[in-house]
Each structure stands twice: as structure tokens, then as C-alpha cells.
Chains A and B, each alone.
Chain A
């Protein structure tokens, strides 16, 4: 079956199987920033934005993305670069495997214009697992990034 969608601002038509999941489709169509980790919605590595909301692409039916706007890290390159600078400054970057998913969730948070305490931020990011950092430096970097964005 074919579906029409918009990925990073560009109209795309995907040829998919009925039970295909979005992470597989995006990888097949060369959106290489989309990663698969646990493949069971637990780790957050595969996070993308659908109509501006973070979703686990490893469990999101591609067929349901018909007519929706999809954003991967390729679509927020400048913002991701800014966040990466803060990650570097805080020493939050190690293997970097979780970064694309976190960048997209943080971008969605920024667009929501909600004000967040550190506790809220930690709760918001519960769905992103990082096996390197211990989270403290990431939280600091994200707070600085969101502070700059105000």
C-alpha cells in the first residue's frame, strides 16, 4: 500500500506493507538518524515527532502516518547542533546513540513553550535511556539550551 506524508517539510510517498512500523520505513527511505534500540518502546532511541509530538517510531504504524507531518533530526539540524554544543560543554556526550531521540523530545518541549522545573524535566525525559551519562550532565545541558531559547 502507498501512503502520503510530509517528512521534514517535504512531501513523501512511502510504499509500505500494512503492518510496517515507522522506524523501519524511515530507515528504508534513508533517514539514517532514526535508530532502533530496544525495539519495544522502552528506550526512546527511535523517537521522532509526528505532528510535533514525540512518538516511539519502533511501535508507530506507518499506515497511521498518512497525512501527518514527520520530523526526524535531519529536519531540526540547526537546533540539534545548538543542543549538541551544550552537550559538549557539559560533557554530556559519550557514545551519542541516544542523542537524536533526546534532541527531538527537547525540541518538542521547546516548541510547547511550557515552563519546566528540573523535576519536571527529569519526568519528561523518563522515556529516554542513556547507558553512558548518568543523566546529570544531560539535564544541565538541556536546561542551558532551553534557557538560551527563551
Chain B
């Protein structure tokens, strides 16, 4: 990405104003993918001075500032205590330490990248996004939206309720994007199953979740059927990393294993 101007925002309002001035103006998160884009824009807006790089918690929620680096998430004790720590664990598998010291949660979410190892666990955790203008939006809704976002993400919000979690990333090497990732969070009020890198952006396996809902204490048979539904009802595609068939197979296997784990059953 090429840009003619760099603007270090002095406030969210300042950043928002610049963003609205020219449709090419863009927020840079960590800035890691600038080189991989051929776009030419007028102004890159940097939020690095706005104090959006903190993880705060109260009794009910954890609020992760949009400019928080993946390294900080990986080391957060507060996040390790939510749903078996699946979010910091998922983040720890993303490339190397150097990249995680720069990549931000805001950039990872706003890019709606199919290969994201952040979005899948956040979707299973039912995360909400706090925007400057729109206020709070469920991540699941944001992922369905199309087109350029002209609002500014301030924070990602996660509930602290008791939950068990499972995360699995399948990759060819320790340094690669995922072939597929699966995140499962079981709370008192239900279980959420998110499957990402299919290779499109993560989705909830809704039919599988609805089926599981009918069985408060699922056994192996119900879990196997839920996993089959996760395989059959989501769309899987092929790319240079894996075929659609292989991805669908992995989705069934790891959904089953994950559900066994969060339900305390031996595989």
C-alpha cells in the first residue's frame, strides 16, 4: 500500500474526521499487511497514541483495546481465565513473536481475513465490537457485512462467564496460515461452534449448534451427529493449502474431538 500522508491521530474524533474526508483514507492497525496491498491511498491514519492498547476487566467483561498487540493478548492472565484460555492460546500459534509484537487485534478483526486465528475463537466466545459511531455490534453480525468500514473500532469485548473452551489450528508448518481452525465454547446457556479458514472467514456452525441445543448432556452419538452437521452444513472450498474435501473432513474430526473435550468425555 502506498500513501501520500501519515497522520498520527490525536483523538478518536480526529481520526474519524480524517477517515471521512477521503474514501481512500485508511486506519493502519499493526501495519503488517501494507506491503501486500497494491492500493494507493491519500492518508494512513495511525491510532497508536490513543491509549487503545490496554486490556481492562470488570466483573462481567474483558475489554481489549483495538491497538492491543497479539503478544499482549497472549500474555494476559485475564484472558487465560476465560473459556480455558482459548483466545490467548490461539493467538500464540500465529507466526512468530516479532509479528505478534506488532499485529493488533483491531487489524486482525477489521480485515475479516479468512485465515484469521483471532476471529474463530472470538466468534465462539460471542465477542462484541465497540465502534466509535455505531456503538456495540456483535462480531457475528460484523462478519456478515460487506464493503469498506468507515467507522473506527475501539475495542473487542468478551464476557467473563464460566465456560470451557477448545481451539484447534491445523497447519502445514508452525509458521503457516491455517488449513482450518475450530473453536468451541461451552457455557451454561449453550455451546458455540466456530469454524474458520475454510478458507473463507469463520462462521458459526448454526445447524450443528441448534441440534446440540436439544441435548443438555450430549453423549458420543449426539456429538458425532453434531460434528457431521458441522461438516455438512458449512461451505468448504479448495485452495493451494488444501482441498474442500480435506477441510470438511478436518472440521468433522475436530468438532467431534472438541465437543468431547468441553463435555468432559474421553475420546
Contact = CB atoms under 8 A, between A and B. Distances in A.
A47 B100 CA distance: 12
A47 B101 CA distance: 11
Contact of B98 (A18, A21, A54, A63): A54
Which of B8, B92, B101, B174: most chain A Cβ within 10 A? B101
A61 B104 CA distance: 14
A47 B6 contact: no
Interface in A56-70: 56, 58-61, 63-64, 66
Contact of B2 (A19, A40, A66): A19
A55 B68 CA distance: 15
Contacts of A63: 6, 8, 46
Interface string B26-63: 00100111111000000010101000000000000000
Interface residues on B, range: 20 to 34
B175 interface: yes
Given A61-B6, A63-B6, A56 B98 contact: yes
A39 B98 contact: no
B161 interface: no
Interface in A111-133: 123-129
A61 B71 contact: no
B162 interface: no
Contacts of B142: none
Contacts of A44: 96, 98
A25 interface: no
A2 to B, nearest CB: 12
Given A18-B44, A61-B28, A127 B34 contact: no
A40 B6 CA distance: 21
B151 to A, nearest CB: 22
Given A18-B44, A21-B34, A127-B175, 11 more contacts: A39-B35, A53-B71, A53-B101, A54-B98, A59-B31, A59-B34, A59-B102, A63-B46, A126-B174, A127-B98, A129-B175
Interface of A: 1, 18-19, 21, 39-42, 44, 47, 53-56, 58-61, 63-64, 66, 105, 123-129
